[in-house]
Amino acid sequence: MSALTNTLVGPSSSKVSRVVGIMAIIATVFMLLLALVWSPPEIDQADAVRLFYVHVPSAVIALYVAFTITLIGSIQYLRKRSVFWDLLAHASTEIGVLFCALVLVTGMLWGKPTWGVYWQWDPRLTSTTVTFVLYTGYLAIRRMDLDPAVRSKRAAILGIVSFANLIIVRYSVEWWRSIHQSATFGLDTQLDDLMLFTVFWAVVTFLLIFTWLLIHRFRLAWFEHQASTSSLDDAIAARRAERSHPPLAGESV
Amino acid sequence: MGRAGLLADAALIFKKDLRIERSSKVVTVQVLPFAVMTLILFGFGISPDARVLLGSEESRTVLAQVTPGLIFIAVLFSALLALGRSFGVESSDGTLDGLRLAGLDPAGIFLGKAAAVMVQLAMVSAVVTGGAFLLFSVDVGWSPSRAVLLVTTVGAATTGIAAAGTLYGALAAGLRVRDTLVPLLVIPVLAPVLLGAGQAADAALFGAVADGWPWVGALALFALVYVGVGILSFESLLEDA
């Protein structure tokens, strides 16, 4: 496979991704200092408030950025049938699901010291869980052994309907909880200026990380696409090349 | 194709699916007993003797108290089977292609299949609701307004489940993993239906009837959205199923 890979693809990094990556590293260092050292503990929640600096940006990235890109990519794919939009939607959803998982984990970790239990039927947490499963379904469709064009089309439809559903789930869960519970605990937290700035900075940092991941994931998907659509001849040539230079003992083929 | 064509096609598919059901009786003798068994399992899982206090004197069994939710959980699980069946009959011999070759409007196919699933689910819901009242000894001070709310809730909920389910069933049609994929796709989508139907039915049985109607409105809106999405997207979904 290595010969084939080398002829078709390069590393999944590029000039842009390297710049974004370095910016993300610098921003992360600054974010860690802000979140862990410079910003003060909160009055009620003490150090638990620091989970906010991961939780809030993850939620912003997953629910507002990533799945919106999925929506746009899906719509554009159905309009233009271009591989670019299709792969962009795929890459974005995959990273979105990852950040969604991060929202749930940090939400539960924060819940233990704040609510006393890991899981409270908080509207946001509940609807995020449903959203998480919703987009896991999208990823499941992407893994199906289907004709690529059929798979892309179905995934695109799913990407659009899932976004509509995300909104429906969000409102219905909030309405459902509003009759049992007066307000969401903990979200009326008093944040001072430095804390607010830390949240803002964390969002910026996570955006950079997201962009970096998106570029890499997109390029990887692009290479996968290239490899799967490249002609059989390339594969045969690669096999022949392997035969004329047999792999060394112990080297994987 | 005009609107008359669409509805005529829908009626054709609707009758076809119900005719298949009448001769095969898969929903009647497999899905329906499954739904009843689910109710019995709820009884096993939740102790029938456990009670909740309603005031200082009154109490109700936990099973009766959670009946509104249990009814729709049973219906939801049965719906997964009914949907599997609905697309199972179309999976062999390229029948979906056949339907399109016959010149049927894809939107009509969607409406027909969704309507057939809806009728079957309404039947399942009726049995499940009756069974739950019987098995869980739900005592309700019946009034016409409560009954109307409950029936409307069941109607709106089953319409929503059938419409969204048919859409997602088509999405997974022709896949070897359809049986496991459809539940993964459909359950999060139908979560709002379970919420709304549970709340509305709770209002119909135990609460104030007026509290239930907004939820029925939400259920109707959900059904409308998914009927719309299904009509719009079914053509592209069928194209290469």
Per-residue pLDDT tens over the stretch A2-16 = 444 444 556 777 888
Q: Please indicate if any CB of chain B lies within 8 Å of the CB of A165.
A: yes
For residue A253, the model assigns a pLDDT of 45
CB contact under 8 A, B181 and A157: no
Give me the pLDDT at residue A6, please: 47
A133-147, A176-190, B29-43: range with lowest mean pLDDT? A176-190
Residue A74: how many CB atoms within 10 A of its CB?
A: 29
Residue among B42, B52, B69 at smallest CA distance from B202: B69
Interface mutation vs chain B, best among A144, A161, A163, A167, most B CBs within 10 Å = A161
Structure tokens belonging to residue A14: 């590029």
B residues 199-228 lying closer than 8 A (beta carbon) to A: 199, 218, 222, 225
CB contact A133 to B (< 8 Å) = yes
Residues of B with CB below 8 A from A143's CB? none
A32, A80 Cβ separation under 8 angstroms: no
* Contact assessment for residue B120 and residue B45, using Cβ atoms and an 8 Å cutoff: no
| Distances, alpha carbon A215 to alpha carbons A12, A26, A210, in Å | 8, 18, 9
State the pLDDT at residue A185: 44
Higher pLDDT among residues A248 and A130, named by residue: A130
Predicted local distance difference test score (pLDDT) of residue A175 = 84
Residue A64: partners with Cβ closer than 8 Å, 6 or more residues away: none
For B237, the closest chain A residue by CA position comes to: A154
Question: Over the range A129-168, which residues count as b (16 or more CB within 10 Å of their CB) and which as e?
Answer: bbbbbbbbbbebbbebebeeebbbbbbbbbbbbbbebbeb
Of A144, A161, A179, the CB nearest to B175: A144
At A8-54, the pLDDT tens digits run 556 777 888 888 899 999 989 988 888 888 877 776 677 777 888 88
- For residue A245, what pLDDT is reported? 66
Averaged pLDDT for residues A80-92: 93
Cβ of A158 within 8 Å of Cβ of B239? The answer is no
Band (A145; pLDDT cuts 50, 70, 90): confident
Query: In the structure, what pLDDT confidence band is assigned to residue A73 with cuts at 50, 70 and 90?
Result: very high
Residues of chain B numbered 5-44 and touching chain A (CB < 8 Å): none
Among chain B residues, CA nearest to A139: B185
| Chain A 67-86, residues with CB within 8 Å of chain B CB atoms | 78
Torsion of CA B227, B230, B231, B233, to 10 degrees: 160
Q: Is the pLDDT of residue A246 over 70?
A: no
A183 pLDDT band, cuts 50/70/90, is: very low
Find the residue in A nearest to B239 (Cα). A150
Cβ contact A161–B218 (<8 Å):
no
When pLDDT is cut at 50, 70 and 90, the band that residue A182 belongs to is: very low
- Which of A121, A165, A166, A178 to mutate: most B Cβ within 10 Å? A165
Using CB atoms, which residue from A154, A165, A168 is nearest to B237?
A154
pLDDT at A180: 54
What backbone torsions phi and psi does residue A119 show, to the nearest 5 degrees?
-120, 120
Predicted TM-score (pTM) of the model is: 0.84
The Cα B80–Cα B180 span in angstroms is 10
Mean of per-residue pLDDT scores for chain A:
82
The SS3 call for residue B60 is strand
CB contact under 8 Å between A144 and B218, yes or no, is no
Percentage with pLDDT > 90 across chain A: 32
A176 touches chain B (CB under 8 A): yes
CA distance B241 to B231: 16
In this complex, the residue of A133, A144, A172 whose CB is nearest that of residue B218 is A172
A147/B233 Cβ within 8 A: no
The predicted pLDDT at position A184 comes to 45
Tokens 């009814």 correspond to: B71
Domain boundaries, chain B: 3-239
Q: How many CB pairs under 8 A join A and B?
A: 66
Tell whether the model's pLDDT for residue A250 goes beyond 80. Answer: no
Q: Does A144 touch chain B (CB under 8 A)?
A: yes
Cβ <8 Å between A157 and B237: yes
Question: What interhelical angle do B3-24 and B106-135 show, nearest 10?
Answer: 50
Determine which helix (DSSP H) or strand (DSSP E) holds A149, and give its type and residue range. Answer: helix A148-178
Predicted confidence band at A1 (pLDDT cuts at 50, 70, 90)? very low
Split chain B (241 residues) into runs of 10 and give each run's mean pLDDT.
77 92 90 93 89 82 91 95 88 79 89 95 95 88 90 96 93 81 92 93 90 93 94 83 51
Going by C-beta distance under 8 Å and a sequence separation of 6 or more, which residues neighbour residue B33? none
* Residue that is written with structure tokens 């000039």 in the block: A15
Split at pLDDT 50, 70, 90, the class of A207 is: very high
